[in-house]
Amino acid sequence: MLMTTRASSSARRPLVSLTRWQWRSLIRELGRRGQGTREAGAFLLAPGPDSRRVAHVEYFDDLDPMCLRGNIEIEGQAFSKLWDICETKQLAVIADVHTHPGAAVHQSSIDKDSPMVAQIGHVALIVPHFATRRVRPRHVGVHRYCGGGEWDSWFGRDAVRRLSVRRWT
């Protein structure tokens, strides 16, 4: 299957928005969970599918304690737990985030072929260096699933326009 990356300037508002405190906490926790040697990740939840403001973070290994095996392999039962959390807290999954070992934040072939949530508009964020260094939004790869195996991807300044880290709640 041919995977393409399309540049799109249609997004006027961020695809994902976190407070500075949420961002720092997320990066620190991803680094801690991955121990600098393996990928770690989380789902980002908002008050509804149209909201972009993250209200809750659910880490992959809290849903599936065995999922961090170097790469990430989440078992189906973990998704049942995730959907239960969403229903209980009245939240929706708007994005996932995971780490990569080096500076590259492009999607691997596994990332492209296996979206965590294969729903059009779902966002996947990739954080470099296993989140063991200071990470700013411009360092992150922002990828939006378009369906049919296609993704929009943004890096650097373009990523900053889609990933908002704001001062206040």
Convert the pLDDT of each residue in 13-44 to its tens digit: 899 999 999 999 999 999 999 999 999 999 99
Say if residue 152's pLDDT is above 60: yes
Strands 163-166, 150-154: pairing is unpaired
| Domain-wise residue ranges, the chain | 13-166
Check: CATH 3.40.140.10 for 13-166? yes
Distance CA 69, CA 81 (A): 20
Over residues 62-88, mean pLDDT: 91
120-142 tens-digit pLDDT: 999 999 999 999 999 999 999 99
**What's residue 71's pLDDT?**
76
